Amino acid sequence: MKKLLNNVDQVVEDMLNGMAAAHSTYLRRLQNTTVLVRKQSPVNGKVGIVSGGGSGHEPAHGGFVGKGMLDAAVAGEVFTSPTPDQVFEAIKAVDGGKGVLLVIKNYTGDVMNFEMAAEMAEAEGINVQQVVVNDDVAVEDSSFTSGRRGIAGTVFVHKIAGAAAESGADLDEVKETAEKVIHHVKSMGMSLSPCIVPAAGTPGFELAENEMEIGTGIHGEPGVERTSILSSKETARLLFDKVQDDLHLQKGDRAAVLINGLGSTPLMEQYVFTSDVKEILDEHGIETADVIVGEWMTSLEMAGISLTLLKLTPDLEEKLFAEADTPAMKRFAK
């Protein structure tokens, strides 16, 4: 393992201090916690939005703390859900009197830890609601699994629910908006090389020089198939088809596209892939209202990419373009 760090046990701690130092105009770290909150928290009269999860997905989630997106991000250990006490601290810090929405990615651990935190907050009289993001179409949704995983589509939930909260909507409305995004957003990823959890020191899986894995999760969970390496065009088509199977975009529909580099995929390759995705969308007559390219929800040093499509309705589109000012995502009012 070759990584730039000091001590594997301190990596989250050190990273949080770095994020607080780099983004001090946006956020601050709650003392003795792994929570980053908006600099002026709580925002009175606004629904608070708290998200988080294991570390190793930066800029998610701390990078989305700021105006128009999250009020707090709770960091767990690498690829490990944060604990209930930490989530509870975040809820208390951002409750501005209108309640708090928890945005949870669908993993057994995350759901349980956030649920326990919600129970603790309710016991203190804070109104808490939660939504669970499950955009990854790679794994089947069935009553026999914990459902689909939450991946990069979560960023659209942060953005659009954040805009709803910023506009003064109440907790039920913000939750409804978040659920609408979740209903309309689908993603799928692939990987060219694995990632190494610092404390484990070895890759979670291996891929030969001429192999790629389709449908890999953002923690290196095995995907759906391993194939010999495909071109960007072929990969784009494969991921698009799988996403489209679920999303059923029609000719004339408007969509937002999020291309997400998983950690060590150069922007050059991300743009190559973006061009291929755009071509496919054009072929289908789907109007691309927005194309966002970059690293939004990474998987340490994994090489690979994920494709997220969000089917837009006029209200979702309006909120997607609403003003946001966070370290990782900025939107200026038109």
- Residue 267 binds other proteins, judged by CB under 8 A: no
Token pair for 153: 């589509």
Stretch that binds other proteins, among 82-90, 96-104, 233-241, 289-297 (CB under 8 A): 82-90
What amino acid is encoded at 184 in this protein? H
Q: Fill in the DSSP letter of residue 35.
A: E
Strand 48-55 versus strand 100-105 pairing type: parallel
Contact string 287-316 vs other proteins (x = CB under 8 A): ------------------------------
Which helix (H) or strand (E) segment is 333 a member of?
none
State the catalytic residue, choosing from 23, 183, 219, 248. Answer: 219
Active-site residue, selected from the candidate residues 57, 61, 158, 184: 57
Extract the tokens encoding 254: 């408007």
Shortest Å, Cβ 72 to other proteins: 17
Q: Judging by DSSP bridges, how do beta strands 324-325 and 330-331 pair with one another?
A: antiparallel
Q: Which residues contact 11 (CB under 8 A, 6 or more apart)?
A: 5, 55, 78, 198
**C-beta closer to other proteins: residue 223 or 261:** 223
Applying CB under 8 A, the site for other proteins has a residue count of: 36
Distance CA 268, CA 259 (A): 12
**C-beta of 1 vs 200, nearer to other proteins:** 200
Contact between 153 and other proteins by CB under 8 A: the answer reads: no
Q: Which is nearer to other proteins, 33 or 265 (CB)?
A: 33
Residue 309 sits at φ, ψ, to 5 deg, of -120, 135
E strands present in the chain: 27-29, 35-38, 48-55, 72-78, 100-105, 128-133, 185-193, 211-214, 225-228, 254-261, 287-294, 303-311, 324-325, 330-331
280 binds other proteins (CB under 8 A): no
CA nearest to 232, candidates 270, 281, 265:
270
Place of tokens 């960007």: 232
Q: Is 30 in the site for other proteins (CB under 8 A)?
A: no
d(CA 289, CA 287): 6
Alpha-carbon gap, residue 215 to 127, rounded angstroms: 37
By the rule CB under 8 A, 59 interacts with other proteins = no
Question: Does 327 contact other proteins by CB under 8 A?
Answer: no
95-114 residues near other proteins, rule: CB under 8 A: 107-109, 112-113
Site string for other proteins, 204-243 (x = CB under 8 A): xx-----------x-xxxx---------------------
Phi/psi zone of residue 110: left (φ > 0), alpha (ψ -120 to 50 degrees), beta? alpha
Active site residue 57: yes
Q: Which of 79, 273, 296, 321 binds other proteins (CB under 8 A)?
A: 79
Least distance to other proteins from the beta carbon of 98, Å? 28
Shortest Cβ distance from residue 199 to other proteins (Å)? 5
* Rounded CA separation 76/74 (Å): 7
User: Sign of torsion, CA 163 165 169 173?
Assistant: positive
130 binds other proteins (CB under 8 A): no
Is residue 82 involved in binding other proteins (CB under 8 A)?
A: yes
Interface pick for other proteins out of 71, 77, 95, 295 (rule CB under 8 A): 77
150 binds other proteins (CB under 8 A): no
CB 285 within 8 A of CB 251: yes
**Which sequence positions are flagged as catalytic?**
57, 219
Residue ranges binding other proteins (CB under 8 A): 9, 54, 76-86, 107-109, 112-113, 116, 139-140, 144-146, 149, 197, 199-200, 202, 204-205, 217, 219-222
